[in-house]
Structure 1
Amino acid sequence: MQKQNDFQNSDYTESQFFRYALNVTRTLESTPCPSSNDLAALIDGKMDEKKRNEIFLHLDQCPDCYHEWLNLSAIKPSILYRLLSFFTLYSSLFFRSVSELFPWKMRKQSPVKDFGIFHLLYMVRKRWIVFPGAVMACLLIIFINTNIKPPDSLLSPLILLMIDESGREMQSLYNKGTDPRELLHGSESWLHSSRHYGFSSDLSNPANAEENFRRSFMAGVQAASRQFSTRDVKDTEEYFKTVTARKESQDENFFAEEFELGRWIFFLVSASLSNSELSPDFWNRQRKISELYFDRYNQKIDQTMQTSNNSLLPEKLQKSLTARIENIHKFIGEPDKQTVSRKNCRKIALEANNILKMLVIQ
């Protein structure tokens, strides 16, 4: 009696209930139970839409197949499957948060309706690589720019290459017939001192670190000037062999950075005083070199500059040198499309000469 009342109070009429039971019977008779392989393909998403819908309809009507499907789904997934599931969850949460923050509408549905390998590749390309990858790249660039520091050693192959290339360009002017007196104009006062003091015989017993600093700088000036002031190739080669030996021996009395600084300053003065117009590439190299030297000496000031023999260099000298190099950097500008103007060349030559007067022992 109770069952009859429950049936009468249900939403179905008697005729509708029997019609539903008849349809269920016909459906079970018309659709055979899927095999274990079919259920596994259904779980892996390797089945076309029509057959998938038929199996889902059968699972709604067949308790045995439904429980078998649950048991297969309960098998512990592989590591790859769990990783894909994790990244799917991550991408869904990420895109949902982005869609709420930004006005544009995120794409709701993939054009590939099949849940097979093409859909997986589409999701990987769109959600897990492109957008998150771009965000991670931006964060990495910001991290590098805010945390990277100037190298402990300035003598990187790139910097040496740029200084050597600058010297070769200046040498090409000399080889084309440019008067050496033009390249050395206004430089005789400090050039004589550099020839006299650079790598002199008493360098092995320096008075202090500052003198060592100056001697290494003047040795660089001398090495650069020999490329223009003498045609004796053998003499120049012998001198550079001596310099190379000092570098490789890591002599604590030899400041390799200041040696290269002396070479660069000489090339810079010669280029600024020359009447020949140099290429924008040449000035771009000078800008990069000046930027590196500025960062280097500015860092030394912040960290209380110390030399290899633990003697302090004068802070006033370091600050003045850093300010001069910064001015050179500003006067060079960004000559991407055209060379440096003659007005700025004169300013560069003035600042470079001030560095020479400041560091050369008179």
Structure 2
Amino acid sequence: MKKSLLLLIIVLGSFQQVSAQIKTYANKKTNEEEKTTTTSEPINPNAPVKGEIIDNTVTGLKLYQIYIPLWSGMISKFNSSLYNLSTGGLVNFDKFSLEVEYNYMFGDRFLVDYGIEEYNRNDIVMPMTKPNSTNYGRIYGTYYFMNKEKLKETTVGLKTEGRISYVTNVPAYRNIRYGVNLGFEHGVAFYGLNQREIYGQAIDNPNEPLKAFGYNYQSAMTRYSFLSLGFSIANTENVTVQFENYGKRRSAGMGIFNFDLLIAVQNNYENVYGSYDYISESSNDIHFLKEYNINDYNKKTMVGGRVYYRSVPLKGVITFNAEIGYQPGFIKQNNLYAKFVLQLALGNNLKKK
């Protein structure tokens, strides 16, 4: 952020800035002397604008929120989804935070449903029953062992007129907390096998040699439980300024970054139907399928990782979170993924200050 107070005028994508003097009173918390700096004033460049910080509370905040789903999606080679139902809640104190989440993928198996991936006619591998939609529950706790208050410039909105927005920067304290995470996640997931070779053992004949299913699209269902361990950084801003010409204005919000190691305490793949023979008659293919065990005959990685970010509103109702990571799974598979979630936050963030 720039050290000077700025009033930014945006008009139809073009920028116009006129220098003027703005006088702002010092943060009451530090009893600093009055400061004079420069900003932009579109109405009268010669008129000073006065503002006083009347609240800059960034510690001792207690936050309770319930999340209502708007939109959520996932991108991955093993299971992309266009729309998920993602709901949950958050309780956040100075030293402790607890988050719960439930996710149901209405739009998963996108690659299969829209024919982007093709089955190889000789090597079909598919779930034995109609695949369930991917869904999981997650509980996530953080203990914050250290916090630091830092004086930084914070952007505060003054007013909006049509497509013109006026903002300024004020010196205000932010609270930066550092913590450790512990979480648990359990779910059932559709798992595309990424055009990699998969081995299966026929259930009806354990002495039969392993069947190698070739480099083409296959799929299975997996039931998993992950333990997560990691590190968290939370950044909180909360400043209210009384401006002479604009009234009371507030800028408040929290951003949380989590860096986690994922440990699979359960990662089992259900038995599948696999083709052991097929014949082609005219335009019809006839496949002969039987049950195969793929869980015990393919190497799996039991660890993964993720980086997770959530924006937490202290005013307003929109919360956003994003997650990228590597999910434990078969070693030969591409287990990278990215998730995006947009929700309504209902709770004491709606109280006016």
Say whether the fold is shared (TM-score over 0.5).
no
TM-score range, shorter chain: under 0.3
Q: Which structure has the higher relative contact order (CA within 8 Å, separation 6+)?
A: 2
Greater Rg over alpha carbons, structure: 1
Per residue, is there more strand in 1 or in 2?
A: 2
Per residue, is there more helix in 1 or in 2?
A: 1
